[in-house]
Structure 1
Amino acid sequence: MTTCPRAGCDGTVEPDGFCDTCGIEVPATLPALTSVSAASVSAYSGSAYTAMHRTGPDSGPATGPDTGPATLGQSTGAFSGPSTGASTGPGTAPWTGTVSSSGRSRRASTRSSGRGRLGAGLVEVPRVPYRDPKSAVLTDPEVPEAKRFCSACGKEVGRSREGRPGRVEGFCPQCGHHYSYTPKLEPGEVLHGQYEVLGCLAHGGLGWIYLALDHAVSDRWVVLKGLLDSGDADAIAAATAERRFLAEVEHPNIVKIHNFVQHADRRTGETVDYIVMEYVGGQSVKDMIKDLRGSGGGTESLPLAQAIAYALEILPALGYLHGVGLLYCDFKPDNVIQTEEQLKLIDLGAVRRIGDNRSAIYGTIGYQAPEIGTIGPSVASDLYTVGRALAVMSFSFDFRRKYKTGLPTPADQPLLARFESYQRFLRRATDPNPELRFTSAEEMAEQLTGVLREVLAAEDNNPRPGLSRQFTPERRCFGSEQDPDLATAAAALPVPQVDAGDPAAGFLATATTGEAAERVAALRAAPVTTAEVRLQLVRALVDAGQAEEATRELYALTATSMFDPDDPSLVDSDDWRPVWYRGLAALVEGNPADARAAFETVYDVLPGEAAPKLAIALCAEATGNLAEAAHYYEVVWRTDRSYVSAAFGLARVLLAAGTRDRAVAVLHTVPDTSSHHVAAQVTAIRAQTDARHRGTDGQSPLVAISGAADRLEALELDVARRARLSVEVLQAAFDLVAGGGAADPAGPGELLGCELSDRGLRLGLERHYRTLARLADTPEERFALVDRANAVRPRTLV
């Protein structure tokens, strides 16, 4: 027998390694503990160990290798509440700014976002039935041994030894701190004269969670949350903060608090605080994933659209917290519960005030931002956790170790390879540099909604258009008649929206119309020079073809912005808008490679926008990269049919790649409500009759020409245009007949009312040439058309 090493205890250590009196667990590998003094045991409970289960600027991250698989911040219960702090170091203010996607503010927005429908109204998410509260009560409430860690030093406690189960109460063998994992309430106990306990629901990082009946309010179901370890001063402080914060929080997607009560522990007489919250009867997102993997191969995840829908539903709740000066700090799938069609953000145990430099920081390994240990929590670190959680929900990866602060590459994760915009979204959301992340929950949701539209369109080929708050629509369609000139395309691409809050917004509403040269003159004479005025001047110079002058203006603008980013006449150095205009200027200069580099940068910042992808497709086409051009054109067109330039671009590159059938099919999807519908049909007709593309779709040439004729007959055209297209169709057929094509048994017997023979086609061509001659604008043009009619008419006997 070994004497208990705990000071003041005269017990002995039994063979199972526990003291028979105080219950301290003595590791067999640490016999030196038998001589530990009271002073040294007391020293173990100092800040060097408490830092291991939380994070702060002086302690380093709480997610180091010594913390084990769980920490106090890793609350696993389904019901919890907040704690405080946003420590950024002594004497420093918390950092809350990130990269500005709009360039209009370098600071995170604190506006509250309105609650939207689940999945932005785009996704049908499976309903989760309301769970009978009584069925959720644990029959044997016990904290698994793998989740038992000392709250003071983070070391393992309560583990099995020599076949004997680990103790649920005792003292840490490393530091002597007392631990207890036993529920403090039993079924039948009544708190505050009204809350009758039915049993335990779950255990979390800050306490046991109980189900109870509120006899004072129609016997409604409520949840009681107490402390797991009442001897932990930081845990008590967190619970106290939770009480204060929860009283202030009111949002439909955040669990509601009803009351705060105290109750004496039945064994020790110690007064314990409890928070009374609404019962949320559903299933956590974490449990959904566990169920999928339990019934499958072990690597299943939520459908991507469903995972995005969950994030979109919760982001307004985070935006609300940020708007009232709070940081959530511990977002993860465990803390989101779905009931029916509603999501609730639960467990506010890690919530802290923005600017709190004193409170302990709680978080979860694999979700927590890397700068937490030095800079402290911020809006950017909150949004980082959303990006990490979204990745965890949508694909399987080792997010706690191998990818603790990074993501798999598209080569390693097929989902990221398939949905590039989603991969770029996650990359920005979880960027190691907080200044390069999203600036607000509202902005993050805006870009994520754009990504969701792409994902859904890719899954069922039904477009999901949406208005952009960042870009105008495309200013005109390019490439509908012929291969686009780069300068012409640059003048047609979307441009950034004018900031309505700019002091010169009213002036710009009238000064940005008319010819480019007139706009340049008006903008140079503007009564006030602001960021928007200077950017609109760059736009006008690009439209006027003065790319060199536009580039000089851009360099002057971005260079001066480095000196005083708060000056409204200047542009933030991290603004994406000058980069966009730099890309347009490069197109005008005929340099698609440089233009693409600029547009790729904007795509990284705004992964949910169509404009950067359309511009990248144009650059890829101009540099001969047909496969990439087709990919980006298709993503844009499949998602939003208002970008008609993408349809013509996709058709062009498909024709160039030798897939005429696909090109014609794309042109056929330009809706008849579009002003470019006729142009698309005409392009399809010419693609089917062009000899350069014969045989690329496996069709008989005459069958393809017959299809073009049928398409032409269905169009409403003026006489002259119909006659010109009829000449093209009949001429293509005549060239084939002259070469023996009429013998093809698959060929039609008639074309545009003409017999498919040498004589019939000649008569048809003659008729249409004479029609065009009657409509000619000049005598010279009329004489030339009559000559063609005479040349093609069949020979007659005199």
Structure 2
Amino acid sequence: MSGSCVRAGCPGAYDPDGYCDECGRKAPAATGVSGVSEPVGSTRTSGVSRRTGPSRRTGPGRGRVGGGLLDLPLVPRRDPATAVLADPRVAQDRRFCGNPGCGRPVGRDRDGRPGRVEGFCPACRTPFSFVPALAPGTLVGGRYEVLGCLAHGGLGWIYLARDKNVGDDVSDRWVVLKGLIDAGDPDAVAAAVSERRFLVSVDHPAIVKIHDFALHPDPKTSADVGYLVMEYVGGRSLRDLRTAEGARPLPLDRVLAYGLEILPAFGYLHEHGLLYCDFKPDNAIHTDDRLKLVDLGAVRRLDDPVSVVWGTVGYQAPEVSTDGPSISSDLYTVARTMAVLSFDFRGFSTRYADRLPDPADQPLLAEQESYHRLLLRATDPDPDRRFESAADLADQLLGVLRQVLCAADGIPRPAASTRFTHEGAAFTTTTGATTTGGTAFDGAAIAAALPVPQVDPADPGAAFLLATRDLGAADLATAARGAPPDSVEVPIALARAHLLAGGAAAAGALIDQLARDERRDWRPDWLRGLAALADADPRAAVTSFDAVYRALPGELAPQLALAVAAEWAGETDAALARYQRVWTCDHAYVSAAFGLARVRRARGDHAGAIEVLEQVPASSSHHLTAQVAAVRARLESPPSAAGFHDVSARVERLPLDGEARARLAAEVLTAALTWLTTGRRTGTPRPAGTVLGCALTERDVRLGLETVYRTLAKLAPDAGTRITLVDRANRVRPRTLV
């Protein structure tokens, strides 16, 4: 607000838009009020401003959206002249009874006769009319001049009007009128308008601004009808944008960005004790590079048990009809809207009115597992299993968007998690076979190395855990007797400490108690997964980590844990997909790189294994391990003289100590000897080049391998190992006459 109104006798003040909140007149330029967004330089034709072209931003853009990950396309502000319907009619397939308890089709063609545009519902006798009640030129509330119809909604026609109290020779203030109530009882109308004046106080950049309420007599009954007076938002609704694409789904990254843009508006409403109730693609307008929530006609208070609840079949949560709306049912509508926008969701209001299609029938859900899981949680039939807040949903939605973008272009987009610490230490950094018959998994080591759930700083025990973070399980258990009794974080930390110390029984008791007391908390499942790993039960670990992934589809830590458990259990297809997703999104998860290389190598994809191993960053402590593993993977590729020459050059560049270098040299020379004696076709010319300083001949390679074995023998830790290595040196050396 910037100063009092300068109009004589007016007690009002100018709002951020530059208009008086009492008389509605625009502030003179001399007052210096900023924020006036009406266009200048327009001319008036037939009562509607016409401009020479679409409005464009004159200053710097708002920046990237979706957490800075992408840009929304620019949708020009729509000229009001093009928004008014030339012939306002309601299609027959959109004509329904306005009684919330009925909602049956009305006004349809029957027996060769055209459907009535006015009449009574044959089921409940509620009157209906699809004829605009306000004609162009009508003055509503002595102030708002109707210019025409914009659309038809659940409460009737929506009109474009000009505020006659505001305007000058070069600009107008356009507003939208939406019917609030149509009753014959003047007291009921007055009460409804008075009760809903709280909407004027709603002030959020992503929510349409309510300027006023106005009363106007119905032309047929003369009963007062209440109208919401809202700002005019140019642009196009999400429904119109989808239609403009030929009714094809919108790109998934854009749909996710739309969700991230609109959720702060829901969060604002919920924080102020309000529910939106009827979100759908029609009620979000994309203008310029912004999204705005419009049509607040169905908004109600959280603690209102009596007002009529408005909703739309296919978007509304199933429990609303019996239990009423809630925060979780509001978020349900956001998820259903994203689903409708992102894939061909035929039957969403009939066959799939309260469920999602199976991934087998919907390719996008099969391709984008994390997105599918996000939709499943947000639309769970049990409201207690859905996201708890708009911020909670937005956090996971942002993580899913990162995964979608990374899968599309292969570019990592690392980000700090609000739920987990990062990977403590890389685990299972081998790249050989890892089935139960090959290299064994160390479940306890994996459980210790996996990311740790973040401690909630608001928990009463947060300070206690900070002070005791270096204690072992036994000491922590003793100290925990003095911890705040209402802490959730302390028993979680204590259960993990017992698990890592081998105290499975003590950990299990704590986990079971947590699961009973904190039914909506995913961390008991996380702890059960760790316990299953430590107990060498990978299938049980898969079940537990899968539950965590269902709850947190935007997080990478559950997918990493699920990948290693699935690999251990022999479910390599699932392991491959999740390792790939984690590694592509964030190269700091080095365990995912080794896991991905193992699975690829086991499938004979040596080139793929080499590619991922060489992506391990030089800053990682496991960079050298990955380089050595890449050399070994190259040895398994179809051998050639050029290939051995390349491997030799790579080994010589590695900063290995004496024993490690000798062991790797033994592997390289053994592979070369095998190729020379069994793999190379007879009669072919002697291969050129060298490998680790040895010419590619059987004699020279044998001599080199003998030298390597004798070097290892000198470094052997015990006599038995030394004798074994000397025997190998003697067996491999070439035959001589002396």
After the TM superposition, which residues 277-316 of structure 1 pair with which residues of structure 2 at under 5 Å, given as runs?
A: 277-294=230-247, 300-316=248-264
SS of residue matched to 1:260: strand
* 1:458 and 2:397 matched: no
* Residue in structure 2 matching 1:446, options 395, 400, 403: 395
After the TM superposition, which residues 556-575 of structure 1 pair with which residues of structure 2 at under 5 Å, given as runs?
A: 556-558=513-515, 561=517, 572-575=518-521
TM-score between both structures, scaled by the size of structure 2:
0.81
Q: Distance in 1 between matches of 2:249 and 2:194?
A: 35
The offset of 1:589, in angstroms, is 1.3
Counterpart contact for 1:151–1:232, Cα < 8 Å = no
Partner of 1:547: 504
Partner of 1:715: 654
The offset of 1:760, in angstroms, is 3.5
Partner of 2:66: 119
**Stretch deviating more after TM superposition (326-335 or 154-163):** 154-163
Partner of 2:493: 536
The offset of 1:765, in angstroms, is 4.0
Q: Distance in 2 between matches of 1:422 and 1:512?
A: 36
The offset of 1:670, in angstroms, is 1.4
Change (3 A) 1:509 1:390: same
Counterpart contact for 2:335–2:375, Cα < 8 Å = yes
Summarize deviations over 1:192-250 as a string: whole Å, max 9, x none. Answer: 56544332221222232222334524533422314287347799589737852321211
Counterpart contact for 2:468–2:476, Cα < 8 Å = no
Summarize deviations over 1:17-50 as a string: whole Å, max 9, x none. Answer: xxxxxxxxxxxxxxxxxxxxxxxxxxxxxxxxxx
The offset of 1:379, in angstroms, is 0.6
Partner of 1:381: 329
* Residue in structure 1 matching 2:174, options 219, 222, 225: 222
Partner of 1:509: 466
Partner of 1:496: 453
Summarize deviations over 1:530-556 as a string: whole Å, max 9, x none. Answer: 332222111111111222332233235
Q: Distance in 1 between matches of 2:334 and 2:615?
A: 37
The offset of 1:776, in angstroms, is 7.3
Summarize deviations over 1:399-420 as a string: whole Å, max 9, x none. Answer: 1110111111111111111122
* Residue in structure 1 matching 2:96, options 149, 157, 176: 149
Partner of 1:409: 358
SS of residue matched to 2:292: strand
* Residue in structure 2 matching 1:751, options 687, 691, 696: 691
Q: Distance in 2 between matches of 1:235 and 1:292?
A: 44
After the TM superposition, which residues 640-651 of structure 1 pair with which residues of structure 2 at under 5 Å, given as runs?
A: 640-651=586-597
For 1:504, the aligned partner's letter is G
Counterpart contact for 1:239–1:349, Cα < 8 Å = no
Change (3 A) 1:143 1:221: farther
Per chain length, whose mean CA-contact separation is higher, i.e. which structure has more relative contact order (CA < 8 Å, sep 6+)? Answer: 1
Q: Distance in 2 between matches of 1:364 and 1:185?
A: 25
Cα RMSD (Å) of the superposition?
A: 3.3
SS of residue matched to 1:509: helix
Q: Distance in 2 between matches of 1:427 and 1:171?
A: 40
Q: Distance in 2 between matches of 1:280 and 1:156?
A: 30
SS of residue matched to 1:274: strand
Counterpart contact for 1:576–1:605, Cα < 8 Å = yes
Counterpart contact for 1:703–1:746, Cα < 8 Å = no
Partner of 2:277: 329
Change (3 A) 1:785 1:590: closer
TM-score between both structures, scaled by the size of structure 1:
0.76
Summarize deviations over 1:248-284 as a string: whole Å, max 9, x none. Answer: 2111111112233344566766544333322211111
* Residue in structure 2 matching 1:430, options 374, 379, 394: 379
Counterpart contact for 1:580–1:599, Cα < 8 Å = yes
Q: Distance in 2 between matches of 1:180 and 1:528?
A: 63
The offset of 1:467, in angstroms, is 1.6
Q: Distance in 2 between matches of 1:154 and 1:785?
A: 86
* 1:136 and 2:71 matched: no
Counterpart contact for 1:227–1:235, Cα < 8 Å = no
**Stretch deviating more after TM superposition (138-147 or 422-431):** 138-147
The offset of 1:337, in angstroms, is 0.9
Q: Distance in 2 between matches of 1:409 and 1:630?
A: 22
For 2:459, the aligned partner's letter is D
* 1:735 and 2:674 matched: yes
SS of residue matched to 1:512: coil
Change (3 A) 1:666 1:259: same
Q: Distance in 1 between matches of 2:188 and 2:559?
A: 49
Change (3 A) 1:781 1:168: closer
* Residue in structure 1 matching 2:700, options 757, 760, 769: 760
Partner of 1:610: 556
For 1:627, the aligned partner's letter is D
Change (3 A) 1:352 1:542: same
For 1:212, the aligned partner's letter is A
The offset of 1:350, in angstroms, is 0.8
Change (3 A) 1:759 1:746: closer
After the TM superposition, which residues 336-347 of structure 1 pair with which residues of structure 2 at under 5 Å, given as runs?
A: 336-347=284-295
Unaligned runs of 5+ in 1: 1-114, 295-299, 562-571
Counterpart contact for 2:384–2:520, Cα < 8 Å = no
Q: Distance in 2 between matches of 1:155 and 1:624?
A: 53
Summarize deviations over 1:471-491 as a string: whole Å, max 9, x none. Answer: 121211101147431121111
Unaligned runs of 5+ in 2: 1-61, 432-438
Q: Distance in 1 between matches of 2:403 and 2:320?
A: 33
Change (3 A) 1:714 1:135: farther
Change (3 A) 1:708 1:550: farther
For 1:392, the aligned partner's letter is V
Change (3 A) 1:759 1:552: same
Counterpart contact for 1:330–1:385, Cα < 8 Å = yes
SS of residue matched to 1:338: strand
Counterpart contact for 2:331–2:378, Cα < 8 Å = yes
Counterpart contact for 1:424–1:604, Cα < 8 Å = yes
For 1:670, the aligned partner's letter is V
For 2:512, the aligned partner's letter is Y
The offset of 1:731, in angstroms, is 2.8
Counterpart contact for 1:702–1:741, Cα < 8 Å = no
After the TM superposition, which residues 59-98 of structure 1 pair with which residues of structure 2 at under 5 Å, given as runs?
A: none
Counterpart contact for 2:74–2:288, Cα < 8 Å = yes
The offset of 1:662, in angstroms, is 1.7
For 1:276, the aligned partner's letter is V
SS of residue matched to 1:223: strand
The offset of 1:327, in angstroms, is 0.5
